Amino acid sequence: MKIRYIFYSLVLLLAVSVLPAMAADSAITVEGQLGVTDVAIDPGVFMYGDSGTIKVTVTNTGTTPVAISRAKLYSSDLTVVGDDNYGSVGSIGPGNALQFTFTVTADITDGIYYPLFYLDLRDASSLRYRVPVKVEDTGLSVSVTDRPDAFSPGKKEDITIMVGNPRENTINGVVITPVMNGYETTETSHFIGTLAPDASGEATFAVTPYEEVPMEFTVHYRNGMNDHTVATTVPVTFGTDRKQAETVLNNIVVTPEGDHYMVTGDVTNAGLEDAKSVVVTTGAPAVPVDPYRSYVVGALEPDDFASFEVTFSAAPGTETVQLVTDYKDKDGNLYSSELTLPLESAGVPDDSPGTGDDLPIVWIVLGIICAAVIGGVIYYSWKKK
């Protein structure tokens, strides 16, 4: 009886010491012959609601085949899709490897989770391996790095959008698309492509607003096989751009010339951008006349100036006329400014006889008469002698 009691005690002790070892996770089994040699998770870090794959590679490093009954992935957090795909596996030959792929969905909050890979062997042993899976719902960062100080209706401007990847894994297929709501763009989209962790990419859009409606840009990207979007808006307020070209007229001199006037002066670009196709002319009630109906200055860089001269006529009694300056920006948008010129200080051209261009003729006639009188006196004096 004592011998039987001792025997049962030894069996119980052996069971207590062996069972915990069997229950513990192990990456190597069958006396070091079979083990997990690689784990690939795609995407590397899941976002909330993402689906992806966990691929576990098992290698037989021994000299004899190992028979496998089934393989499964257990998780109380992740949703394992189609986990009965490996209900019957077969054997792994010596020196060979076998990859098991499982599809999971991360419909859980941020954190690190450890689903259990379980390999059931036919010799009554098993292989267990915990796979760490990260879930983080942080998306891409989108910001506007360059935009004009103010917009003008119908004027084309450049807007630069920067996309950054603050995540731990690489993001693919990054595309920026403008949403057409009160404006138009030259580009329909910009493809940035792949963004590594802590990397960023930029795209510039040429936009033309027509309404004071915020511009919206949508960023599409993929985390593994999952599509995601994030958007940003650019407020639109119409006003005067502080950087645009600005033409200023100075040193203006108005001179009457017969039946018309001549205006001379300088035009200066007081802005911070180039003024192209600068033209100076006159507006109503003035009527441009030859030889300088309008004066083409051409391009003016910031702080550059050029001289001009224009000619015009005006009806009698006209007190002021408009001096008009037109120019274009780099996109061909036309700008115009006017300067009022008073004609009182310039004098009014007079076409009456004896004035203006007729004065030299009067003096010539008077000279001829005086010469005739003097000649007559001299001739009379000489004849009398």
Q: Which fold has domain 141-234?
A: Immunoglobulin-like (2.60.40)
Taking the domains of the chain in order of start, what are their residue ranges?
22-135, 141-234, 247-342
3-state DSSP percent of the chain in helix, strand and coil, to 5? 15, 50, 35
Residue whose tokens read 């700008």: 335
What distance in Å separates the CA atoms of residue 263 and residue 280, rounded to the nearest whole number?
10
Maximal CA-CA distance, the chain: 196
The identity of residue 262, as a single letter, is M
For 29, the enclosing helix (H) or strand (E) is strand 28-29
pLDDT tens for 220-244 read 999 999 999 999 999 998 887 777 8
Gap between the Cα atoms of 224 and 42, Å rounded: 6
pLDDT given for residue 152 in this prediction: 84
Is the pLDDT at 87 greater than 90, yes or no? no
Among 306, 312, 266, CA closest to 291: 312
Range in 140-144, 157-161, 285-289, 366-370 the model is least confident about: 366-370
For residue 55, what pLDDT is reported?
A: 95
CA angle 7, 9, 15 (to 5 degrees): 105
Other beta carbons within 10 angstroms of residue 303's beta carbon come to 10
* 141-234 matches 247-342 in fold: yes
The pLDDT tens digits of the residues spanning 259-280 come to: 888 999 999 998 888 889 999 9
Using DSSP's 3-state secondary structure scheme, residue 327 falls into strand
Q: Read out DSSP for 253-274?
A: EEEEETTEEEEEEEEEE-SSS-
Domain 22-135: which CATH number of 3.30.160.100, 2.60.120.570, 2.40.40.20, 3.40.50.300: 2.60.120.570
State the pLDDT confidence band at 19, using cuts at 50, 70 and 90: very low
d(CA 158, CA 329): 13
Looking at residues 53-61, what average pLDDT do you find?
94
Of 3.40.50.150, 2.30.110.10, 3.40.640.10, 2.60.40.10, the CATH number of 247-342 is 2.60.40.10
User: For 298-317, what is each residue's pLDDT tens digit?
Assistant: 898 998 999 999 999 888 88
pLDDT at 75 (0 to 100): 93
Q: How confident is the model at residue 286 (pLDDT cuts 50, 70, 90)?
A: confident
Which of the pair, 18 or 266, is modelled with greater confidence?
A: 266
List the 171-179 sheet strands across, edge first: 190-195, 171-179, 215-223, 226-234
User: Distances from the Cα of 319 to the Cαs of 6, 21, 155, 314, 345, in angstroms?
Assistant: 132, 110, 36, 9, 10
Tell me what the mean pLDDT of segment 16-29 comes to: 43
The overall average pLDDT reported for the chain is: 83
Alpha-carbon torsion 303, 308, 312, 316, what sign? Answer: positive
CA distance 334 to 297: 15
Full-model pTM: 0.67
State the pLDDT at residue 351: 46
